[in-house]
């Protein structure tokens, strides 16, 4: 089980990666992947789909 600090650090890492890929010439696939990772993390942590 992850601690809240570990989950928050993971969330920040994914959000940073999402920002980084938005600078790529064709970010569509990578953007969808990281958005999916954030949605999954939110669902696992809170049980709610965003």
Look at residue 50 in the predicted model and tell me its pLDDT: 64
Please list the pLDDT of the chain residue by residue as tens digits (50 residues): 678 898 899 999 999 999 999 888 888 988 999 999 999 988 888 887 66
The CA distance from 42 to 35, in Å, is 11
Degrees, nearest 5: CA angle 44-48-50: 105
Q: Is residue 50 part of a domain?
A: no
Q: What range does the domain containing 31 cover?
A: 4-45
What is this structure's pTM?
Answer: 0.73
SS3 content of the chain, % helix, strand, coil (to 5): 75, 0, 25
Only one residue has tokens 């696992």, namely 44
For the chain, give the number of residues. 50
């Amino acid at each position: 089980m992850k601690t809240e600090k570990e989950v928050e650090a993971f969330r920040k890492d994914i959000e940073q990666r999402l920002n980084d890929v938005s600078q790529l010439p064709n970010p569509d696939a990578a953007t969808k992947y990281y958005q999916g990772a954030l949605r999954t993390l939110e669902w696992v942590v809170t049980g709610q789909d965003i």
